């Protein structure tokens, strides 16, 4: 089948082809799964420069070192990790048999669920496609992928590279606009993975519910930074600026705002701008600074900053002009942003960092807990007691301590949100489990108590129930 055919009927036909292939062949062996993962690794290694070029074309400019760091290397590492750990993950687990059922054996075995749909976003169009794909294949499933229509060059290249290594009955990429994406989400998959905004995530979940399709939703929200007063400002500013400006802030786990000690918040804001200027002395012709994905997103960022400034926030801007045609939005810090502004209500998804003054650690924790649970939380402290207090008193999808965003690249840590920031986690073993069905198996021994107590229930049954449950049936 031509994977470029995206009519709804063709989507159903492709799903049925994958289902039929899965039913005919059954669960793949360890060797087959490892082979599939090697093919993903080969795809990334051989196609990395073409992928970097395609992503840069889609963005208008995307830093190629950032593409390799965030899209290629984590994918290769995740596939290698899964290959190494698969024997242990696939091994059946012995479970305890209750005294009343002995002699017998209990175990859990993990079987693939079938066909998994993956809806990938535009901001990391390679890793947020191959990341779920690696876990789906490790668990022994088939996969249909719908990449973002906002990155057409990357989506087309991924389709080409995947089709060269996988038959459509095993992995297929379907392309198209928003209407194709909506049709894709209505398919009766055995599991559906969506990465994107919270609002669209709600629509995806509603569509999946019609067919009772389990969903994994990787969403976003406003990921906070709590800066304790014991942590030096300069290294904090550097670490936070690096995480915020990676991919020009177009990262679901980017630091969205900083809760800084009241007495040092202004100095911290200035240091963040200093770090931004050191990393990016200029914009025009600078291949290291990633562009904003579209004119609409670029305009929205400008509106967020302008509104916050009009309402009393102090805006600190990168001093280098951006006069070219590339959508380079300059790194911007907004000190004392109005809490009712859109800047503090919406996920920013760009190189704009609000800095909120916090009077104490307790007030910072209360601020975070008064808002929807975030996809990521960042805390900066050198005091173990402070670290423990923040971890114990907050809830988030994931955490990096004294750093930003790097927890998402750990192949042996689960990645996922909670509440409005997401549902379900994957990566590594958690990904294997996410896309597997844990099937419980009971195997009676030479003697079965249930058969012993079959009708007609006479004296033996009554004596047994009295001994086992204290039930005096007379």
Residues belonging to the active site: 218, 252
| DSSP tag of 412 | T
Phi-psi region of 312 (alpha: psi -120 to 50; beta: other; left: phi over 0): left
- 420 closest CA partner among 225, 257, 220: 220
217: exposed, middle or buried (Cβ count in 10 Å: 0-12, 13-18, 19+): buried
- Per DSSP, the three-state class of 93 is strand
Residue 359 DSSP class? S
- Identify the H or E element spanning 449: helix 449-452
Question: DSSP string of 128-186?
Answer: HHHHHHHHHHHTT-EEEEE--TT-HHHHHHHHHHHHTTS-TTTEEE----HHHHHHHHT
Would you say 78 and 134 are in contact if contact means Cβ atoms under 8 Å apart? Answer: yes
Q: Which two tokens stand for residue 77?
A: 């590492």
DSSP string of 175-199, one letter each residue? ---HHHHHHHHTS--SEEEEES-HH
Neighbours of 51 (CB within 10 A): 25
The distance of Cα 185 from the centroid of its chain, to the nearest Å, equals 18
Q: Are 293 and 123 in contact (CB under 8 A)?
A: yes
Tokens 């005096």 belong to which residue? Answer: 472
E-strand stretches of 214-284: 215-218, 223-227, 255-261
243 HSE (CA, 13 A, CB side): 30
């Amino acid at each position: 089948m031509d994977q470029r055919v995206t009519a709804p009927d063709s989507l159903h036909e492709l799903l049925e082809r994958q289902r039929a292939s899965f039913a005919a062949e059954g669960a793949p062996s360890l060797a087959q799964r490892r082979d599939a993962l090697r093919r993903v690794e080969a795809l990334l290694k051989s196609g990395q420069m073409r992928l970097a070029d395609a992503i840069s074309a889609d963005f208008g400019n995307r830093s190629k070192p950032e593409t390799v760091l965030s899209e290629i290397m984590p994918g290769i590492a995740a596939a290698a990790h899964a290959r190494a750990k698969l024997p242990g993950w696939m091994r059946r687990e012995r479970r305890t048999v209750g005294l009343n059922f002995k002699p017998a054996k209990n175990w859990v075995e993990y079987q693939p669920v079938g066909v998994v749909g993956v809806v990938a976003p535009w901001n990391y169009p390679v890793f947020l496609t191959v990341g779920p794909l690696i876990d789906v294949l490790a668990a022994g499933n088939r996969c249909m992928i719908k990449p973002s229509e906002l990155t057409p060059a990357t989506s087309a290249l991924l389709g080409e590279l995947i089709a060269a290594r996988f038959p459509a009955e095993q992995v297929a990429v379907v392309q198209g606009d928003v209407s194709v994406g909506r049709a894709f989400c209505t398919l009766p998959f055995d599991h559906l993975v969506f990465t994107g905004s919270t609002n669209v995530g709600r629509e995806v979940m509603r569509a999946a519910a019609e067919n009772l399709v389990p969903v994994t939703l990787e969403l976003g929200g406003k990921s906070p930074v709590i800066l304790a007063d014991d942590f030096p400002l300069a290294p904090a500013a550097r670490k936070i600026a690096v995480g915020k400006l990676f991919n020009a802030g177009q990262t679901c786990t980017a630091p969205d705002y900083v809760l800084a000690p009241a007495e040092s918040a202004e100095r911290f804001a200035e240091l963040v701008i200093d770090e931004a200027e050191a990393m990016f002395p200029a914009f025009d012709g600078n291949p290291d600074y990633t562009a904003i994905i579209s004119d609409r997103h670029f305009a929205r960022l400008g509106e967020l900053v302008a509104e916050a400034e009009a309402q009393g926030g102090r805006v600190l801007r990168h001093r280098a002009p951006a006069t070219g045609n590339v959508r380079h939005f300059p790194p911007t810090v907004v000190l004392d942003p109005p809490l009712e502004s859109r800047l503090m209500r919406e996920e920013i998804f760009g190189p704009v960092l609000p800095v909120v003054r916090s009077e104490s650690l307790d007030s910072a924790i209360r601020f975070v807990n008064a808002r929807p649970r975030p996809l990521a939380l960042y805390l900066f402290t050198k005091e173990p007691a402070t670290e423990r207090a923040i971890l114990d008193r907050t809830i988030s999808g994931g955490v990096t301590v004294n750093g930003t965003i790097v927890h998402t690249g750990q192949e042996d840590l689960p990645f996922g949100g909670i509440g409005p920031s997401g549902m379900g986690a994957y990566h590594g073993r958690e990904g294997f489990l996410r896309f597997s069905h844990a099937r419980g198996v009971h195997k009676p021994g030479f003697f079965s108590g249930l058969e012993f107590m079959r009708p007609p229930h006479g004296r033996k049954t009554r004596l047994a129930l009295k001994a086992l449950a204290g039930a005096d049936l007379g």
